Structure 1
């Protein structure tokens, strides 16, 4: 049952990304170009995504397990630190340059072309190597 629900949720998410235009790199870059030829339509997509997510968090605060019985993860941290800021900047730079973020990139795999495959390969490499880099950066600096 868990896999069926995951498949349906993933399919709905991917379809929503495609229908909303989030998989169209020129549309995304047009939305990010606030000082040029700005396309505000994706603001409605993001605003529309925030409403069900806010409802989901309200429901999550009253539940311990998901509908299929698995434990729900704890709410995310509200702490703003260097890791969050650095990650946000890197995400924004990648999103602006490529016009894609992870969700739309995966949703576009069947028709994206060579540029998309390079993006997904780089994204996966980052996901694989980031924990090792994070561990190295978090090591205390020896005192002289």
Structure 2
């Protein structure tokens, strides 16, 4: 499933319980981000940010972080990783580590050495399926993989 389809499904699922989607980023926003961070975004992350520049969901107070906020925080970019999502006002965070060959892995903050996936689509689909806490969601997925 394409990133824009997943984002649309997430938006439809949460339309009645609070969902705010940010306007798409511009190509110049992505170029500025890449220049500031010192590396290129993977193709599916570019697709995500060109679909929406992050979103906020009242369910579990989950947010996909917009580029501008990532750049403001500019956390650990020397190691080619940054946070992409958070829940409950940064209680838990998910990050992406980008390898020199352009591949990447998504991880939960407290277990950086145990990646969840190398697919943004899969990450978003897990949120679509079970939010943060429900069956099939992000925490259930971490349990399935033996991470937490």
Larger radius of gyration: 1
Point out the structure with the larger helix share. Answer: 1
TM-score range, shorter chain: under 0.3
Structure with the larger RCO, 1 or 2 (CA within 8 Å, 6+ apart): 1
Task: Compare the two structures and name the one with the higher strand fraction.
Answer: 2
